Amino acid sequence: MKKLRKTVFIKRLSFRALMANLDDQRAMQKLDPKGVLASTAQFADQCEQAWREASAIEFPKQYQPIYNIVVAGMGGSRFTPRSIKELFRGQIREPYEIVDDYTLPGYVDSDTLVILSSFSGTTEEVLSCGQDAVKRGAKLTGIVSGGPIANFLKARGATMYQFTPTHNPCGQPRIGGGYLLMGHLGLLKALHLVDIEEKEVAEAIAYARTTARKYTKDIPAAQNPAKQLAVALDGTHPFIITAEFLKGFGNGFANQLNETAKMISDPRIIPELNHHLMEGLAHPDSMKSNGLFVFFTSRFYSPQVQKRFTITKTVVEKQGIQTKEIPLTGPTPLAQVLEAYTLSGFTTFYAAMLHDIDPVAIPWVDYFKEQLSRIR
């Protein structure tokens, strides 16, 4: 009993210490010389700029008809269009596929819209898909800030959304997700592939902006849900559990934990995980001490899925694994997607602070790219 009490005391002390670390603004500033937190705080501004600019684009008549849609994107330029795809899957009538590879599916032809999605405009897999699209005679567009992909599209006379990332001072693509997310929605709106009212978009962006105020560095950890979630994630193997219109976000949060916080993470989807994952939690034994299931819940999930969330949480807890529920409160599914991305952006930044690392640095990705360039 004394040993148990001592363990509980140490855990409480550790928890308090971690919370205190996240209120040390001077220390955070030293670890964030490129301004990742400043970019994170401008997510709603990114969304607003991208929606305003992309939705106003006028596409020439030769972009019609469109019988299927293919998006080529990797990393942050992949999970953001996936969020839009899942949000509007009941509205978009055309088959819609996201490709994270070097080549396009066999059905791509002159009636296919191919969207090259790359914040940096340098992604080699996306450029390869663009070259493949040209061979197939597909209709080309893109969402880029510049680089070889922008030049490739310009050389072929493609209408595209090329943005200036004014609201991403750190320059990292994954921290500028608002441009890809709402830029993609704006393009689809401009092409008459989705129908959404300006009022709904404005409401969603306003909700994200209001939500962000709860997560800023000035809000103490005791009242800051993003700091509290970062502390809860510390030292765990998190499973990010989502469903339906939040699938793309779940992928995005896991990616952000990988790159920004240097943490392993595992995005999983209900109902798919109910068919296998629940039986795979017994081993290794460390799962009971390190595993953490983070359930993002929504009143907009279908009734069937909401039931599954409740039972899944019980199954996980019965196996001695920690869970945490994050109920989203936005007034619409779009607002909840932006709300979720706002929370994950701040959370992964604070998680990086707990690890005493520069959140902008991606040394192993850089190393990989350097090695890849040497063997061509």
Per-residue pLDDT of the chain (376 residues; tens, 9 = 90+): 333 333 433 444 465 567 768 998 899 999 999 999 999 999 999 999 999 999 999 999 999 999 999 999 999 899 999 999 999 999 999 999 999 999 999 999 999 999 999 999 999 999 999 999 999 999 999 999 999 999 999 999 999 999 999 999 999 999 999 999 999 999 999 999 999 999 999 999 999 999 999 999 999 999 999 999 999 999 999 999 999 999 999 999 999 999 999 999 999 999 999 999 999 999 999 999 999 999 999 999 999 999 999 999 999 999 999 999 999 999 999 999 999 999 999 999 999 999 999 999 999 999 999 999 898 6
**Among 263, 285, 269, residue whose Cα is nearest residue 344:** 263
* pLDDT at res. 243: 98
Task: Give the 3-state secondary structure of residue 215.
Answer: coil
CA distance 163 to 53: 8
Top-tier CATH class for 214-376 = alpha beta
Q: Are 170 and 360 in contact, with CB atoms under 8 Å apart? A: yes
**Among 346, 341, 184, residue whose Cα is nearest residue 252:** 341
Q: Are 32 and 358 in contact, with CB atoms under 8 Å apart? A: yes
Q: Which residues lie below 8 Å from residue 14, measured CB to CB, with a gap of 6+? A: none
* pLDDT at res. 20: 66
Q: What is the separation of C-alpha 45 from the centre of its chain, rounded to a whole number of angstroms? A: 16
DSSP-derived secondary structure letter, 108: -
Integer CA distances (angstroms), 317 to 188, 285, 287, 323, in order? 41, 15, 12, 7
Residue 323 sits at φ, ψ, to 5 deg, of -135, 155
Helix 2-21 to helix 225-233 angle (10° resolution) is 130
Residue count of the chain? 376
Q: Where in the chain is the domain with CATH 3.40.50.10490?
A: 40-196, 214-376
Rg (CA), the chain: 21
Top-tier CATH class for 40-196 = alpha beta
Secondary structure (DSSP) of 343-367: HHHHHHHHHHHHTT--TT--HHHHH
**Among 90, 76, 331, 288, residue whose Cα is nearest residue 202:** 331
Q: Residue 4's CB: how many other CB atoms inside 10 A? A: 8
Integer CA distances (angstroms), 156 to 111, 131, 133, 201, in order? 17, 11, 11, 32
* pLDDT at res. 209: 98
**Among 68, 76, 143, 65, residue whose Cα is nearest residue 105:** 68
* pLDDT at res. 1: 32
CA distance 158 to 113: 11
Task: Give the 3-state secondary structure of residue 122.
Answer: coil
